[in-house]
A and B are shown apart, each in its own frame.
Chain A
Amino acid sequence: MENPIISIKNVNKTFDTRKHKIQALQDINMEFGKGELVSIVGPSGCGKSTIIRLIDDIIKPTDGTITVDGLTYDNNKPISKEMIRKLGFIFQISNLYPWLTVRENVLLPLKIHGLSGSEYEANMEHLLKYVDMEKYADVYPAELSGGMSQKAGVIRGMIHKPQMLMMDEPFGALDENTRETLNIELLKIWKETGMTIIFITHNVEEAVLISQRVYVMSSHPGRVTAELKIEFDKPRDLDLITDLKFAEYCTKIENLIGRIELAQIK
């Protein structure tokens, strides 16, 4: 790929536990183009979440290089605040801080990044309305359902208008209808903003619906086993789920994952 905005080259990641070392990732090579929406799918424990934590500099690789927007990360130092501002992270579980209201949680990245102004406040109100959360802005997380907490967590990840957004199974805890609605909303937001999005999911249909490309991974240790381009002639909306090509993509990916899981059982 020419001029990827995110490039992961020959990355390995080993975790040291008290008893032994665990190799989470082995020889990972991935590239993400500017403005792409790419999913990573694979069985549990294949290191999908580890990859986006490496890109977001939450953890460091054991070796290999990660280059984001032209800057190669130093494996011994944290990345600069300027780079961090370009990145956004949405966790698997909403991770709202219980001592802050929904509004305070959502505004937290702005506070930390030193961003202020009516543009961001308006963006927050707009996003809260988008996900039907404007009535709950001054409520504490303990008073929200799991789904509502997750929506607030998603908004928090996007509030500072990052250029690159890591989403770690953001809709996994939601019911099917809400998930589908938010998938379409995500596509709208992606088209409006031109963000580069890396989307982790277990749900193959979700990955095929929203992504331009899908990386398939195997586990023990995590490796990239396949990369598929997902191309449709039709607009990406919920009607696409009934399309034959959609089903073919899903079957192909599920077979790849199934083969991986079978190989591991053997």
Chain B
Amino acid sequence: MKTKAKVFDFLAPTAVILILLIVWQMSCIIFNISFHLLPKPTEIFLALNNNFISVIYPDMLVSLTVMLLGYLIAVPLGFVIAAISSQFKLAVRMITPVLIILMVTPMATLVPEFKLFWGVSQSVKILVVILQCTPVIAVNSITGFTHVSPDKQNLMKALGCGKWETFFRVTIPNAMPQIFTGLKLGCILCTIAAMSADLSVGQGGLGYRIAVSSSMSATDTAYAAILVAAVIGVLLYSLVSKIESKVVTWK
């Protein structure tokens, strides 16, 4: 039964994607859509095949490095901000609006200002990813940490546990589902932030490749780069979901 469910979980979305690709391909042919506007899926896969080693792979490495470094810094940073601020009601009320402002601000638009301080470098891109991901991880973690039922806390008091023992034994495990929601949203945002930063900073990366290819009318290569970025994002999200299934075993 479990194997059947797993097979279905894989086949169902694969079938949907295949159907969409077929509809896309047929639409381009039937409606004679210009290559420069929307290349066919077959053209995109061909471009991917032809340009992968020479063009797309080096850019993919740049973007992957930026995304992973940014994300791996954002995760503990967001967690620590949430862990400390959730201990004080006033701190939560003070910090949450700031985090929300950061969440809704497209950080890539601030890149020109960052470049003034740090110059044109990969560090600016990593900073963009950190600034975009940390708030969403922190806000979701704060929500998890501050929504522990009083009776769960009272049991710890009845057993003589102090604030920090209660935090590690109860608050953190209780918050795990919410924390992982933040981590998964962070994956999505880190992909978008990295692509946007590539566009603004340059110096390689898939976002840079998309911009350069589009400007040279190599739309198929641009879409190939988009496809690779999407696959990286999906793989990162799947990895975090897999970790979640191992950690949050009770759901």
Cβ proximity bits A130-172 to B, threshold 8 Å, 1 near / 0 not: 0000000000111000000000000000000000000000000
CB contacts between A and B, total, < 8 Å: 52
Instruction: Label chain B's interface by main secondary structure.
Output: helix
9 closest A-B pairs by CB: A84-B160, A89-B158, A99-B173, A140-B250, A58-B157, A112-B159, A95-B151, A98-B250, A99-B250
The residue from A81, A91, A108, A112 contacting B151, defined by CB atoms under 8 A apart: A91
Residues on A with C-beta less than 8 A from B155 are 89, 91, 95
Chain B contact residues, CB within 8 Å of chain A: 151-152, 154-155, 157-161, 165, 169-170, 173-174, 176, 248-251
Asked whether A97 lies within 8 Å of B173 as measured between CB atoms, the reply is yes
A112–B161 CB distance below 8 A: yes
Q: Is the CB of B159 within 8 A of A57?
A: no
What is the CA–CA distance of A99 and B247 in the complex, to the nearest angstrom? 9
Which A residue sits closest to B173, measured CB to CB?
A99
A52 to B190, CA, bound (A): 50
Determine the residue in chain B with the shortest Cβ distance to A153. B155
List 4 extra interface pairs beyond A84-B159, A108-B159, CB under 8 A.
Answer: A57-B158, A93-B151, A99-B173, A142-B250
Cβ B161 vs Cβ A57 within 8 A? no
Contact A109 B176 (CB under 8 A): no
- Within the complex, the shortest CB–CB distance from A255 to chain B, in Å, comes to 33
Q: For the complex, what is the distance from the CA of A58 to the CA of B176, rounded to whole Å?
A: 25
**Quick check: B159 and A109 within 8 Å, CB to CB?**
yes
Q: Please measure, in the bound complex, the distance between the C-alpha atom of A108 and the C-alpha atom of B155, giving whole angstroms.
A: 10
**Residue interface mask A87-114, B partner, CB < 8 A = 1:** 1010101010111000000001100110
* Minimal beta-carbon separation of B177 from chain A (angstroms): 10
B160→A81 contact, CB < 8 A = yes
Question: Which of A87, A97, A99, A141 makes the CB contact (< 8 A) with B158?
Answer: A87
* A97:B154 contact, CB within 8 angstroms: no
Whether B174 and A91, one on each chain, are in contact in the complex, defined by CB atoms closer than 8 angstroms, is no
Would A95 and B160 count as touching, CB distance under 8 A? Answer: no
| Chain A, 22-53, CB within 8 A of any chain B CB | 53
Judging by beta carbons under 8 Å apart, are A78 and B158 in contact? no
The complex places the Cα of A85 from the Cα of B157 at a distance, in Å, of: 12
- A140: B residues at CB distance < 8 A: 249-250
